[in-house]
Structure 1
């Protein structure tokens, strides 16, 4: 089978989607398929121009130049070629493939939901609403879809409206790295050296980006409450992710425990794995997610996981994590929310048998997200699309 993956351009600076496209293409190539990746090249984007115009020049590359290239190249492909969109946000290109064998991978519809005003924590401007409408006008013309969670599939069907897809199924993401339980003492020693503070007794951990839905400020609020406990109040908070934005910096600086809050930027993968295994608790109170990779990663690494009792976080976590309420929109309720979450976390930490049970269930749950099994499922679905009349 020949598979052509359509992917986001590299010049946008995002790593996650090109990495996902490479994971799919490498997996299918390893299974004996002929594979290509098609993505816009930076032609207009590379022209000397003010930074304020770069976005618009990128749009020319993506939505004017690239379609001409696509239409030309399609004519050279075998009839039974499968065109796989690695993200539904590539929707504007879908109309060029509706009469060809195609499938669309769907991640999260948070930008789409924000544009329609259903997420008060993330308001979208006029231009953003027009752009998301443009994306939707494309992907709703597709026929075949793979969603990474039931929540994503639910959102997909909502946005498709009255149109019923020919094919729609859920395939959970597979972990694209090897995560395993490591010696906690050795891992804590490595973290101690990095942050120049003794964490041999443990630490609280968060791993995630600066996106609004990651609720990094909420992690600090929970930590503030945890730090009042007589048994766990001396444990530091380690937060791993990109360079912190101003909101996170302000939240840290406002904490009376700020000297025990460590913001680690761009940590290498090996260190992230150690951080998971050495953590006293992994706290992941996202407001929303497309999937929630860190939940599965932490469980595979032997962490006690705390996450939000909302889809898809609870879908990924199953019964293997302590599930807490989602952080309320009303800022006046944030401290009460954080206090309750801290009480629930401390209750588990004070019960070693319960904590061990969560860890053991987590290790078993993480097996659901085996990368090779995920690729096998996706390959079978690709074949199904090719063989359909």
Structure 2
């Protein structure tokens, strides 16, 4: 196959999307297919002088004015049998450029779309943001073929389309790093304790994720605070990800458990894998997800996972996950939610060594269903199906 992969520009701050695009690129090249990446270059962006406001708008010029002109020029000499692959549904504005050619759009989540449409009331979107999401939706609706990373994402996609897609398949994400468990966590915990000057010798509760509203990072702190209030456990909470927001910092400072809460930022891939491997349990009470990478990453690393009992979290964790209700923001219901979640956390922490071992084995077994090879094999079949569909 001849494949052109559209990706997010490298001058924008993305983390998971470049990894996803790399998984497609490496997988297709390894299978012997020809693959070229088309992505915007920073012409106007370079003139922004590192000012965030100018970077945003100058970046838009590069993406939606200059880049389409470049694409149209390249299309004149591209093979008619080329398959154009969009690594993310957020790249929707470029889909109309190749709508009459073989194409497919990979869909991750529609949280921004749902927020802009007023479906997710927890996340308020400004006027310009609503127009931007409308622009994205206008684009991907021109597509005919889609691959979604979960059935939840596929259902959300179909709710935004005006017609039934020609092809719409679900292909679960594959692990794009070598996450694996270790036999003895004690030595690793001692190493992490020395490096970060935190006593992790008895284990720790882990959270991995950014500050986006749907990650419910405040909810992680609320559960831990409730657990420290209701029970006598004394292991720390480690939150790996972005620098905490003011809201998170204020909550930590007011919490009775403040001295046991640690925000770890600027970790590399090795350090992230180590935190997964050393964790007693990962707390991941997301409100919404497209897939939930950290769930599989933690399971593959030999950690248990407590997450929200709704899709796609349940879809991903399956019978290896431990579930709590979705957070309710009503004041009375919030108290109930924190109490229930804290009890479940305590229950997991009190598992006998044999029960814990069996639960870890189940987690590792579940994670093997999300291999990079399985992902690549599955999308190759979809790509081939598209090329013979006309």
Give TM class, smaller chain: over 0.9
Alignment of 1:67-216 (within 5 A): 67-161=68-162, 163-182=163-182, 183-216=184-217
Q: 2:294: which partner in 1?
A: 294
SS in 2 for 1:23: helix
Deviations 1:258-300 (A, max 9, x none): 1111110021222222222222211000111111011001111
Partner Cα separation in structure 2 for residue 59 and residue 198 of structure 1: 46
SS in 2 for 1:319: helix
Matched length = 387
Task: Give the structure-2-normalised TM-score.
Answer: 0.96
Q: 1:33: which partner in 2?
A: 33
- Cα separation, partners in 2 of 1:55 and 1:327, compared to 1, 3 Å: same
Deviations 1:133-189 (A, max 9, x none): 11101101100000000000000000003x010000100000001111112112211
Deviations 1:72-92 (A, max 9, x none): 101111110000000011111
Residues 1:22 and 2:12 aligned together:
no
Report if the CA contact (8 A) 2:19-2:176 is conserved. no
Report if the CA contact (8 A) 2:48-2:55 is conserved. no
Partner Cα separation in structure 2 for residue 127 and residue 300 of structure 1: 40
SS in 2 for 1:130: helix
Partner Cα separation in structure 2 for residue 242 and residue 71 of structure 1: 38
- Cα separation, partners in 2 of 1:94 and 1:16, compared to 1, 3 Å: same
Q: 1:64: which partner in 2?
A: 65
Q: 2:380: which partner in 1?
A: 379
SS in 2 for 1:328: coil
Residues 1:7 and 2:7 aligned together:
yes
Partner Cα separation in structure 2 for residue 309 and residue 258 of structure 1: 28
Report if the CA contact (8 A) 2:304-2:359 is conserved. yes
Residues 1:324 and 2:324 aligned together:
yes
Partner Cα separation in structure 2 for residue 346 and residue 48 of structure 1: 50
Report if the CA contact (8 A) 1:348-1:354 is conserved. no
Partner Cα separation in structure 2 for residue 350 and residue 43 of structure 1: 57
- The gaps in structure 1 that reach 5 residues or longer are none
Partner Cα separation in structure 1 for residue 348 and residue 305 of structure 2: 11
Task: Give the structure-1-normalised TM-score.
Answer: 0.96
- The gaps in structure 2 that reach 5 residues or longer are none
Tell which deviates more after alignment, 181-190 or 128-137.
Answer: 181-190
SS in 2 for 1:299: helix
Partner Cα separation in structure 2 for residue 217 and residue 328 of structure 1: 13
Distance apart, 1:354 and its partner CA: 4.2
Report if the CA contact (8 A) 1:227-1:235 is conserved. no
